[in-house]
Each structure stands twice: as structure tokens, then as C-alpha cells.
Amino acid sequence: MLQKGLLIIVSGPSGAGKGTICKELISRDDSIIVSVSATTRKPRTGEVDGISYHFLTKDRFEALIGENGFLEHACVYDNYYGTPKDFVIEHITAGRNVLLEIDIQGALQVKKKYPEGVFIFVLPPSMKTLKSRIEGRGSETPESLNKRLSSAYSEIELIKNYDYFIVNDTVCHATDLLQAIITAEKCRVDADIEDIVRKFKEEN
Ligand code: 5GP
């Protein structure tokens, strides 16, 4: 039987830098497949449909919820975001490692459905850094900035539901840690170990 791939969930408060770390990871390791989320938010400058996100209308998104098309979905800062289910299942079943970069509500839903996933929480070095990172994007109004910061305070409490945490001090160091976690997970003794032992015996 083919060994299933890992489902790696990278999550944390908005502005913690999870997107940047994930991009760096992918540039270092092209064996990891990134799930492209669907969203109802408008594309930002430079974002490409089908690559950055699948940009959908609210009606289309809600229809997909009705068709059970998402592994998880959440309303994040007044827009829907969701992980297309078939894509993830197809790749994991084929033995490929799939990365989800999603918010905390979504990660907790995935944990209920797929507890064997690898749940990683990205923390900013400090709340001050978090604030300046969100401000630096230039896409927030003072009101939405405050909303994101107050959510971050309550979201950090949820770290206890995760398997690992990474403090994003520098992108390079944080990505080193993410790679180390993935390497360790690939070597974990888990449900597939009987299969690995049997194959090892057959070959020797
Ligand atoms: P942004 O609008 O800045 O791209 O993303 C806002 C938040 O939505 C980020 O915290 C991001 O991780 C999260 N997000 C992106 N895709 C998904 C998804 O498929 N599901 C969930 N639950 N959150 C997502």
C-alpha cells in the first residue's frame, strides 16, 4: 500500500509571516505541494487567479460549501476563505506532501477531520513586530488593523491545539525550523510503519 503524504498545516495570526515562510519553503523544496485556497476577497496588486488564490464570487463560494467542496472554510475579516477538498485528498493519497497556509479557525476544523496532520503555529517575535508588519502591507485601515491585532491576542491562546510552534524572527531561520519539523515528521514511527518494515524485510 502506498504511504500517504503529510498534510502540513501552517497557521497563526494574520501578519505573523506565515505566507513568507511558506514561499521560502517552496523555493527550497519543490516536492511540497501548496494547496491554492479559494476566497471571496478581491485580488491585490500582483495576485494571479488560480495561483495566489481561486478568486470566487460569494454565490459560487456558498454553492461550493453546499456541495461539500471544502476541507475547511472560514470567514476571515469579512471574506470567505476555504481549502478545496478534492485537491488535498488526491495528492495526499498519492503519497505527496501538501501544505496548507490557513487561519486558525480553519486549522482547528482540519484538526477535527484529519488529526494526523502536522499542525504548526507561526508566532511573530512580538506584538509590536506584528503591528508594524500589518501596517507595512499598507492594505489596512486603522479600524481593520485594530481588528487584526485584537484577534491576534485571542488567537495566540489557541496554540495549545498545535503540534509545533515557530517564532518568525527571520525568514531564513523560521524556514529552517519548518524544514526541520517536516524532516522529523517524515521519520516518525506511525500507522504506516508495519508497511515500511514489511517492505524492508522483502528487499533484504
Ligand atoms: P489574506 O487576505 O491576507 O491573503 O489572508 C487572510 C488570512 O486568511 C490569512 O491568515 C490566511 O492564512 C488565511 N487564509 C488563506 N487561505 C485560507 C483558507 O483556505 N482557509 C482559511 N481558513 N484561511 C485562509
Atom of ligand 1 nearest to the CA of 52: 4
Instruction: Give residues (CB < 6 A) around ligand 1.
Output: 14, 18, 37, 41, 72, 74, 76, 81-83, 101-103, 105-106
Reading phi first (left if > 0) and then psi (alpha if -120 to 50, else beta), residue 12 is in: left
Rg (CA), the chain: 18
162 within 8 A of 121, measured Cβ to Cβ: yes
All three cell numbers of 103, joined, read: 487561519
Query: Cα 105 to the chain's mean position, in Å?
Result: 11
| pLDDT score, position 189 | 84
| pLDDT score, position 200 | 78
List per-block mean pLDDT (blocks of 10 residues) for the chain, which spans 204 residues.
88 93 96 97 95 97 98 93 97 96 97 97 93 85 89 92 97 98 91 77 82
Residue 101 alpha carbon to ligand 1 centre in Å: 7
Atom of ligand 1 nearest to the CA of 13: 10
Question: Which residue among 34, 42, 81 is best mutated to probe the pocket of ligand 1, counting the most ligand atoms within 8 A of its Cβ?
Answer: 81
Q: What's at 80, amino acid-wise?
A: Y
| pLDDT score, position 191 | 64
Atom of ligand 1 nearest to the CA of 83: 19
Q: Which residue's CA lies nearest to atom 22 of ligand 1?
A: 106
All three cell numbers of 30, joined, read: 519543490
118 within 8 A of 185, measured Cβ to Cβ: yes
Strand-pair category, 79-84 with 97-101 = unpaired
Structural domains for the chain: 1-32+97-204 (3.40.50.300), 36-95 (3.30.63.10)
Residue 199 alpha carbon to ligand 1 centre in Å: 40
